[in-house]
Structure 1
Amino acid sequence: MTDLSVGLLGIGGLFLLMIFRTPVAFAMLIVGYFGLWQLEGSRTAGAVTLTETYSAVTNYNLIVVPMFILLGNISSVAGFSRALYDAAFAWVGRFRGGLASASVLGCAVFSAVSGSSVATAVTIGKVALPEMKRLGYGDALSTGSIAAGGTLGFLIPPSTGFVLYAILTEESIGRLFMAGILPGLLLMGLFIGTIAIIATLSPETGPRGARVPLTRRLALLGRAMPLLSIIGISIGGIYAGIFTPVEASAIGAGLVTLLAFVMRAISLRTFRDALFETLKTSAMLYMVVIGANVLNPFLAVTHIPETLGHALVSMEIGPYGTLALILLGYIVLGMFLDGLSMLVVTIPIVFPVIVQLGFDPVWFGVVAVIVIEMGMITPPVGLNVFVVKGVATDVPMATVFKGVTPFLMAMVLGLLLIILFPQIALIVPNSMFGQ
């Protein structure tokens, strides 16, 4: 049996394990370890597993993961996310669909502290969905806006997706964080525009909220300002070159914890709960990185990335035709796999092809993350759809999928704009770090 045949069997086994609900980290570990055992022997397989595990858990750059997760968890349990949502609703709630627009704004801002799509959808959904139901919003619009807005957590820095992409491709985390800012704002604007169109065509689905006096709006904005300031310090500090992403994550987590205790917004018990939740999530992500680091040497030995690159080049459909095939593959995989699994399984295979075609690796990171975001709201899996369904238990699943469809079209438009105009993603990192 050739190395390539073993590699293809390994990939098939990987997907089979995930179909049977094996955690993606352990599925990659199993395939990587036994694949290397088959091709290189047990001694090599054991040595690679040990060394890659050690290098993964001692990777300095990975510290951003637990720090930003802690930042998001503290913000959530301290009620800062509620303050963000209340401020957003006070300013835009008087427009048609304003409550849904406020939800998207809240998702965008909370994304800058959570770095997680699921955490964003759950946190804002718990606050916003009861309010939209009380004001008579249509179920499709309310759930669709939360599910779509939650996907911004995977794109707007500090994105867990960008951290894993950077680890897998050895790209700069700082460049990727900065590259996600304008595309994130673009998608946020497209989502709000979609809400405005839906509410205009069907006013009953998104009624206007009461006008809030200016003094009240300013007061609510003031309540949200401490967290907004922490976001500004963390992300702005990276852009200004004052500190690295790792330092920014620690400063942000430290400041939000200090703020929560000073304001008496959390107790020692809730702080402990936030710490335990951070440990569980961080351990899961570290295991994913370990699994990917064991799988990658196996894929390299089988020459699958190299063979795929030659096959795509031989089709003679040009760089953008090849890119379209890769993105189509992502969309299909998104119907069955969650975003994290897609990222860690596919990037080691397609990244060499992207580099060979001459595309900017940072730009492709943004494109890949957006396509993976689309998978989060695409049937039949659509992880964010299931998350929102868990919050809105009385809304049929079909209604939630119907609600996300217009936002999926908005994401396609945003993706096309970033492909046609790469500077949307590259202008900020290039101005900060140089070409």
Structure 2
Amino acid sequence: MIAELGLGLAVIGLLLFLLILRIPIAFALAGAGLFALATARPWPAVEFLLSTFAYGASANFAYVVLPLFLFMGHMAFAAGLSESAFAAGQKWFGRFPGGLAAATVFGCAAFATICGSSVATASTMSRVAMPEMRKQGYMPRLAAGCVAAGGTLGVLIPPSGVLVIYSIMTDVSLVKLFVAAFVPGIMTAIIYIIGIYIWVKMKPELAPQLKGAAVPTMREKMQALGQTWELLLLFAAVMGTIYLGVATPTEAAALGAFFAMLSVLRRPGRKENIGVGLRETGTATCSIFALVIGAGLFSLGLT
């Protein structure tokens, strides 16, 4: 018992040491897990385990949904859907205290409904919203903070890549997870927006009022909201078909990826972004699978 406890502490200590050295998380997990396996088991048994573990951990058809959702997010960004979401948020929230920050959170929430990745959501909205907030004199901590906080909505609001992985590893219905996560995700976005409003009310220097912009009319607001029709169509094509039971998550993800690619193709001069999206999707998918395999080895080493 004492020996097992000592080995467990040593493995966790090794993991922390590797992370301090800035070893990628996937390799740090795999290295610590391999150390535990090599210490506790005969090496021939470890060799046999390693020869089949990576394939066994990743050869699950349900994982197909991950690259499809990621590709859909990249295509949506290439088509400019994130820009239309931010523009709509700017029309609706721009005149309120901290309006651009609130518009950023709104854009993150809208983009999260077709993305599934917090990193992709944050990086996308940072390119769209950060320049405008800097131009209007927003404090960097507020501008960066609302992008970082809004990015977390990518793993809360379906389709979420984290929920897909959790569903596979725990054998829980992905549809039920998507249904359960939607309302908390939207509530989180609303709380973020209210928090921004209160914070800027208390400290107006964080976010100056918009300069040189007329107050938008209700018609202009509705027109800006109408410009997000492609984003709404994608959400309906993916989450609507899943919620109604018309399609499985994999089928819905394929449908969404196809529609997102059509959004890119209908815009002149953006066809080359499809190749870029495929490369970025491949890179992100490889990173996710490396994490799955590394976490599996670490878990196996501790047990």
TM-score (structure 2 length as normaliser): 0.91
Cα deviation 1:167-188 (Å, max 9, x = unaligned): 3333333222222211111111
- Distance in 2, Cα, partners of 1:134 & 1:219: 25
- Distance in 1, Cα, partners of 2:179 & 2:158: 7
1:226 maps to 2:230: yes
Task: Return closer, same or farther for 1:46/1:100 CA change in 2, 3 Å cut-off.
Answer: same
Query: Equivalent of 1:235, from 226, 239, 260?
Result: 239
Query: Equivalent of 1:281, from 273, 276, 284?
Result: 284
Cα deviation 1:233-272 (Å, max 9, x = unaligned): 21122222222222222211111112221233621x2211
Kept after mapping to 1: 8 A contact 2:76/2:263: no
Cα deviation 1:310-364 (Å, max 9, x = unaligned): xxxxxxxxxxxxxxxxxxxxxxxxxxxxxxxxxxxxxxxxxxxxxxxxxxxxxxx
Aligned positions of 1:19-418 closer than 5 A = 19-206=20-207, 207-208=209-210, 210-264=214-268, 266-267=270-271, 269-300=272-303
Offset at 1:30?
A: 2.0
Supply the AA of the counterpart residue of 2:12.
Answer: I
- Distance in 2, Cα, partners of 1:174 & 1:44: 38
Offset at 1:21?
A: 1.4
Q: What secondary structure sits across from 1:158 in the alignment?
A: coil
- Distance in 2, Cα, partners of 1:122 & 1:116: 10
- Distance in 1, Cα, partners of 2:140 & 2:24: 32
Greater relative contact order structure (CA < 8 Å, 6+ sep): 2
Supply the AA of the counterpart residue of 1:248.
Answer: A
- Distance in 2, Cα, partners of 1:159 & 1:48: 31
- Distance in 1, Cα, partners of 2:141 & 2:32: 41
Q: What secondary structure sits across from 1:113 in the alignment?
A: coil
- Distance in 1, Cα, partners of 2:39 & 2:27: 18
Offset at 1:115?
A: 1.7
Kept after mapping to 2: 8 A contact 1:36/1:44: no
Offset at 1:288?
A: 0.8
- Distance in 1, Cα, partners of 2:52 & 2:214: 60
Q: What secondary structure sits across from 1:2 in the alignment?
A: helix
Structure 1: runs of 5+ lacking an equivalent: 301-435
Kept after mapping to 1: 8 A contact 2:79/2:263: no
Cα deviation 1:39-79 (Å, max 9, x = unaligned): 22122222322322112332111112111111111111221
**RMSD of the TM alignment (CA)?**
2.0
Kept after mapping to 2: 8 A contact 1:56/1:289: yes
Kept after mapping to 1: 8 A contact 2:78/2:273: yes
Kept after mapping to 2: 8 A contact 1:33/1:46: no
Kept after mapping to 1: 8 A contact 2:116/2:154: yes
Offset at 1:222?
A: 2.4
Which residue does 1:412 correspond to in 2? none
Q: What secondary structure sits across from 1:95 in the alignment?
A: coil
Q: What secondary structure sits across from 1:21 in the alignment?
A: coil
Task: Return closer, same or farther for 1:180/1:191 CA change in 2, 3 Å cut-off.
Answer: same
Cα deviation 1:178-230 (Å, max 9, x = unaligned): 22211111111111111111232234433256322334333322221112211
State, as a whole percentage, how many aligned pairs show the same letter: 37
Kept after mapping to 1: 8 A contact 2:78/2:264: no
Task: Return closer, same or farther for 1:4/1:24 CA change in 2, 3 Å cut-off.
Answer: same
- Distance in 1, Cα, partners of 2:171 & 2:249: 15
Cα deviation 1:11-41 (Å, max 9, x = unaligned): 2112211211111212222222332222221
Which residue does 1:396 correspond to in 2? none
- Distance in 1, Cα, partners of 2:292 & 2:174: 15
Kept after mapping to 1: 8 A contact 2:79/2:267: no
